[in-house]
Structures are given as structure tokens and as C-alpha cells.
Homo-oligomer: A and B are copies of this chain.
């Protein structure tokens, strides 16, 4: 009853199982036993591939990070796409959950679990901020925006959005959500000194999202 597999294959198998369980029940309330029973391996096998339960979480986050940001990075660097459109596309690349393989991450930003959420948010801030900043700087050159602090503006926008819109820390009704989104766009507009057309473009796009 023993099946031997390539380390990589086993690792992925474990990560798949962990992903599903963590997103269902949260990290704390998922036991390592559940993970290994789900794929029919022994305790020692799990700890042969990962040094701790938290290590599994870290690997899981890295796996998502890789997939999502490789895609987002491609878009961000594609100068053939107009600035405003590119911003929208980059953000969408990270939010949307239709990544081919099947069910993927909403839970990347909405884990029932605090530590996982914290770690995820930290990587989003670290990786997304420079991407958007690049685009904004391009926009500045083109006279679309005007600010001495593009990086910090984006940092602030990302932190705010990921706390308010993508986590369950503050619970909002759909109505409130919409209001926050309007105010958010407006405020970013002020920080970047966006001209009228650009602002209303973004407004249209983002107010549609998530009913």
C-alpha cells in the first residue's frame, strides 16, 4: 500500500490538499492529520516534505504568489496597453478567480485565519506596490498624474483596498462597499491629481465590480 512519488509531485499533492482544507476551515482549525488522511500518506511523509505546518502555509502562499504575479507583471510591463487600462488589468489579474485549473483563490485575501491573512497581505504590498508605481510613473511622464510620491500613494491605496475590500476585518454591506469604492477612487484621484476623464473612467470600471 505504499506509493512512491517524486518529491515535487508529493509536495504539490500536499499543497493541494492543504489549500482546500485551509480555505474551507482555516489554518488553525485544520489539523495535519486531516491533510495526510486526505491524500493517504503517513505523518512522517508530510514532515519529510515540510518542516512544519506553518511551512506548508508559507509554501502555499509562495505558490500563489508565483502564479498570480508572473501574470500581473507581464501586464504591467506591456507598454502597448494604455496606462489606465493597464492599471485596471493588473488589479483584475490579482482579484479574479478564474485561473484555468479550477477553483482558485478568493481566500488568498480572505482566509478565516489571521496569520495567513497577514502574510498574504504582506506579499501583496511588497509585490504589487512597485508594479503599480511603475505604471503611475509612466502616467506622470505623460502628464496624466502629478505627484512627488507615487510609491507611497500606491502603497496607501493597496493597503487600504486590501484591508477594506479584500478582508473580513471590517464587514460592509453592499451599499457601504459601493460608497467606499466611490470615495476611494475620488481620494486616489486627488492624491494623483488625475484629470477628469481618467477619474470617471476608473469610476465606471471599479463600481461595476462585485455587484
- Complex Cα distance, B161 from A59, in Å, reads 29
Q: Which residue of B lies closest to A193 (CB)?
A: B190
* Per-residue contact bits, chain A 108-131, to B (CB 8 Å; 1 contact, 0 not): 000000110110011001100000
A122 and B152 contacting across the interface, CB-CB below 8 Å: no
Give the distance to chain B from A22, nearest Cβ to Cβ, in Å. 14
B155 and A159 contacting across the interface, CB-CB below 8 Å: no
- Complex Cα distance, B163 from A186, in Å, reads 22
Q: Which of B152, B169, B179 contacts A183 (CB 8 A)?
A: B152
Given A152-B180, A160-B156, A164-B159, does the pair A122, B169 have CB atoms closer than 8 Å? yes
- Is A68 an interface residue, CB under 8 A from the partner? no
Q: Which residues of chain B are within 8 angstroms of A41 by Cβ–Cβ distance?
A: none
- Complex Cα distance, B122 from A169, in Å, reads 6
- Considering only residues 138-157 of chain A, those with a C-beta below 8 Å from chain B are 147-149, 151-153, 155-156
Given A152-B184, A187-B152, A187-B191, does the pair A114, B125 have CB atoms closer than 8 Å? no
- Complex Cα distance, B129 from A164, in Å, reads 13
- Complex Cα distance, B190 from A163, in Å, reads 22
Copies in the complex: 2
Q: Which residue of B lies closest to A179 (CB)?
A: B152
- Complex Cα distance, B170 from A114, in Å, reads 16
B186 and A149 contacting across the interface, CB-CB below 8 Å: yes
- Complex Cα distance, B193 from A191, in Å, reads 10
- Complex Cα distance, B149 from A160, in Å, reads 15
Q: Which residue of B lies closest to A186 (CB)?
A: B149
Q: Which of B114, B118, B153 contacts A187 (CB 8 A)?
A: B153
Q: Which residues of chain B are within 8 angstroms of A193 by Cβ–Cβ distance?
A: 190
- Considering only residues 180-201 of chain A, those with a C-beta below 8 Å from chain B are 180, 183-184, 186-187, 190-191, 193
